[in-house]
Amino acid sequence: MFVDKVEISIKAGNGGNGAVSFHREKYVNAGGPDGGDGGKGSDIVFVADDNLSTLIDFRYKKKYIAPDGEPGGAKRCSGKSMEPTIIRVPRGTIVKDAHTGRIMADISDDEPVVVAKGGRGGKGNAHFATPTRQIPRFSKPGFPGEAFDVVLELKLLADVGLVGFPNVGKSTLISVVSAAKPKIANYHFTTLTPVLGVVKRGEQSFVMADIPGLIEGASEGVGLGHAFLRHVERCRLIVHVVDVSGVEGRDPRDDFEKINLELANFSEELAERPQIVAANKSDMATEEQIEQFRSYIEEKGLPFFTISAATTKGTSELIDRVADELSKLPPPKRFEVQPLTMAELQQIENEKHSFTVQKTDGVFVVDAPFLAPILSTCNMEDYESLQYFQRVLRSSGIIDELEKQGVQEDDLVSIYDFEFNYVR
């Protein structure tokens, strides 16, 4: 099964928590805090794998969660940082944010791409010792790793794309000029998935893609074209294959215009791509049909070749011209990574410190996800830890929100498993 678009969830590892520890050694009194830092969480890294040609594996595994960094230890020992979590995808895969459509990565070369960064480790209590705070009983929690819902979209890396109506001979053409062996039959939509073939001309070689047949309305979802038009986007050159014989009762000029309209509707940039017209099935056409179509195409300033893929007539001359044109063209299109906008950055920052306060049965219930790891690293029986936690409540705006909602002296406030009476 050829799968070229899937949605998955990825979550980089959280940083490990810093440790709360005190140095203990014989004959050493009051050794002081020696809690180590937490390790870094695992990054999620995408890598191109030429052994893969489809995204079908992601149909069965939708969630990728990287391991967290290990917590710090005693004697200032840092926790272990996790190795990157590798996700292998076919070369040419685009990674997009599922909610905004923002391009996050283009996996087209051998360079690994970090899409979700692991969280930094938290600081151990050794970092918080001062002349006036010599026994800090708290540490910093690790930072959370990045998490995204992403769409993986495969856009084949081919130099040349064969486009045209169904049953015009695209599969036959790629089978005679390369080692590709597509299914060939005398009916429409024989090719249900894109087929890649490597064409060699002397020392030069290039990749040709047989794109499943387009029909009128393909750019709007009709037929197979809507699913596979994306695979023409990277092609440097388009070979437009037309049935010049008209054996199916269609006018080759009308076919040519309809396919170009679908390309333009899908992408204006694609419609401007260099194009060579191959008039196929010439062995079944009359000289008059060929010359009328030749005049029509040459008036548009496009290269025109008369071929018969079934008998290989004219295919060698066509491939020579294709190779010559490719030598003049820039490399395949790369999709630029789109940075976050200021509004998106602000939204992410706000979400990091978001919280809600709700009064239920006389209890003020605070829901603040960012507080959960802080609570786990604070010793509420220790005065300095309690002071630190109170400063976090004040700086995050939770105290202000409680007062705004009318909290009074001795009212009960609940934050997850921690409850306390409010004191002004």
Query: What is the pLDDT averaged over residues 104-127?
Result: 94
Residue 334 lies in a domain: no
Which DSSP symbol is given to 173? H
Q: What is the pLDDT of residues 300-315, one digit of tens each?
A: 999 999 999 989 999 9
For residue 386, the tally of other CB atoms under 10 A from its CB is 16
Q: What is the pLDDT of residues 9-64, one digit of tens each?
A: 999 999 999 999 998 888 888 788 999 999 999 999 999 998 888 898 998 999 99
pLDDT category at 375 given cuts 50, 70, 90 is confident
Residue 348 lies in a domain: no
Both 184 and 216 in a single domain? yes
Domain range holding 366?
A: 353-421
Query: What is the pLDDT averaged over residues 330-341?
Result: 82
Specify the length of the chain in residues: 424
Extended strands (E) in 144-294: 147-154, 160-163, 195-201, 204-210, 237-243, 275-280
Picking from 136, 155, 174, the residue at the C-terminal end of a domain is 155
CATH number of the domain enclosing 393: 3.30.300.350
Does residue 339 carry a pLDDT above 80?
yes
Picking from 106, 135, 155, the residue at the C-terminal end of a domain is 155
Structural domains in the chain (count): 3
pLDDT on residue 192? 52
Pairing mode of beta strands 195-201, 113-116: unpaired
Query: What is the pLDDT averaged over residues 163-181?
Result: 84
Span of 74-88, 116-130, 167-181, 219-233 with lowest mean pLDDT: 219-233
pLDDT on residue 193? 65
Both 172 and 250 in a single domain? yes
Query: What is the pLDDT averaged over residues 347-376?
Result: 86
Report CA 8 to chain centroid distance, whole Å.
9
- Token pair for 230: 């994306």
Q: Which of 234, 213, 233 is nearest to 224 (CA)?
A: 213
CATH number of the domain enclosing 129: 2.70.210.12
Picking from 309, 326, 343, the residue at the C-terminal end of a domain is 326
Query: What is the pLDDT averaged over residues 367-388?
Result: 83
Does residue 181 carry a pLDDT above 80?
no
CB 84 within 8 A of CB 42: yes
Both 304 and 381 in a single domain? no
Both 266 and 360 in a single domain? no
User: Percentage of the chain with pLDDT > 90?
Assistant: 46
Both 411 and 393 in a single domain? yes
Both 37 and 147 in a single domain? yes
Query: What is the pLDDT averaged over residues 285-292?
Result: 92
Does residue 203 carry a pLDDT above 90?
no
Residue 282 lies in a domain: yes
Report the C-alpha gap between 306 and 318 in whole angstroms: 9
Comparing 219 with 423, which gets the higher pLDDT?
Answer: 423
Mean pLDDT score of the chain: 86
407: left (phi over 0), alpha (psi -120 to 50) or beta: beta
CB 15 within 8 A of CB 69: yes
Which residues have C-beta within 8 Å of that of residue 288, sequence separation ≥ 6? Answer: none
pLDDT on residue 222? 45
Q: How far apart are the first and last CA of the chain?
A: 65
Helices 252-266, 287-299: axis angle to 10 degrees equals: 30
Which residues have C-beta within 8 Å of that of residue 228, sequence separation ≥ 6? Answer: 4, 193, 194, 211, 212
Report the C-alpha gap between 157 and 143 in whole angstroms: 38
Which residues have C-beta within 8 Å of that of residue 179, sequence separation ≥ 6? Answer: 197, 198
Both 169 and 64 in a single domain? no
Query: What is the pLDDT averaged over residues 196-222?
Result: 71
* Rounded (10°) CA dihedral 317, 318, 324, 327: -150
- Token pair for 63: 């969630």
Residue 226 lies in a domain: yes
Report the C-alpha gap between 179 and 354 in whole angstroms: 58
Phi/psi of residue 315, nearest 5 degrees: -70, -35
Consecutive H or E run containing 391: helix 383-395
pLDDT on residue 248? 78
pLDDT category at 334 given cuts 50, 70, 90 is confident
135: left (phi over 0), alpha (psi -120 to 50) or beta: beta
pLDDT on residue 379? 78
3 state DSSP class of 378:
strand
- Token pair for 302: 């496009």
Both 172 and 314 in a single domain? yes
pLDDT on residue 218? 43
Q: What is the CA radius of gyration of the chain?
A: 32
Report the C-alpha gap between 411 and 141 in whole angstroms: 28
Comparing 53 with 80, which gets the higher pLDDT?
Answer: 80
